[in-house]
Structure 1
């Protein structure tokens, strides 16, 4: 099984049988995952911050880092793999957005990322049908091209699907 491993700000999509798209250690970051069952295309972007306006240069070099740029870019990548450009029929799921600093999380980056991702999806006429967001723990997320299953794992918490 080949893995497409995403780091912070990375985006990946595949419709190659046997592949998985995976990202590690989502803390306050949010993984936006798209699946198009008709073609078995899956895609994910690892969003670190809500808005590219805070660092336009970074937005140019790494658009997946920001929700406002990464989500539309992920949809374009899914379209490249044969999905409809209007997003119809694409299943969207979210994971991450934790408050890793606990009650001292002054900037609320996790919550802000979740809201920014949802706002970006809504602007495209899309929305998530499932999510595992918030709380105070890191997540590793794996999407399978073959099954379309999304598995989340966390040390000390086990593994589950959304």
Structure 2
């Protein structure tokens, strides 16, 4: 698959090709093939190091210029964000959270923050989810978060009922 003799540009082009192929599989709801393609993106771009990196002088890897570095960072950000959405579709919320967090470490993306909030709702990290949703709305008030906030309220009410039942048993 990956050839050490490939140029940086060829590696970036292959990574972009796999990301686009993954997007097609996503649209066709073939989650497994989409994830496979998204993982292949990283096979091509991991290990490419910016010339500006302080450790670049020690690297055995290929060094990239600033423009290539920007393209790679954007590709990583988008691919992790896409992976988060696939994991949400598969109801693998912990993996979705991890992918979303990886994306957000690279760049600020409102859609990815929204996906992270969805994962947190499903994993009952309700306070984090609420904060993330409010940040989403603050950054883009066109995004409707009302159904997710309602979901949080329902889950909190259920948790309150469970807690009340447990307390009742303690003091009987």
Larger RCO, structure (CA 8 Å, separation 6 or more)? 1
> Above 0.5 in TM-score?
no
- Which structure dedicates a bigger proportion of its chain to helix? 2
Identify the structure with the greater strand proportion: 1
Give the TM-score, by structure 1 length. Answer: 0.28
Pick the structure with greater CA Rg.
Answer: 2
TM-score (norm 2): 0.27
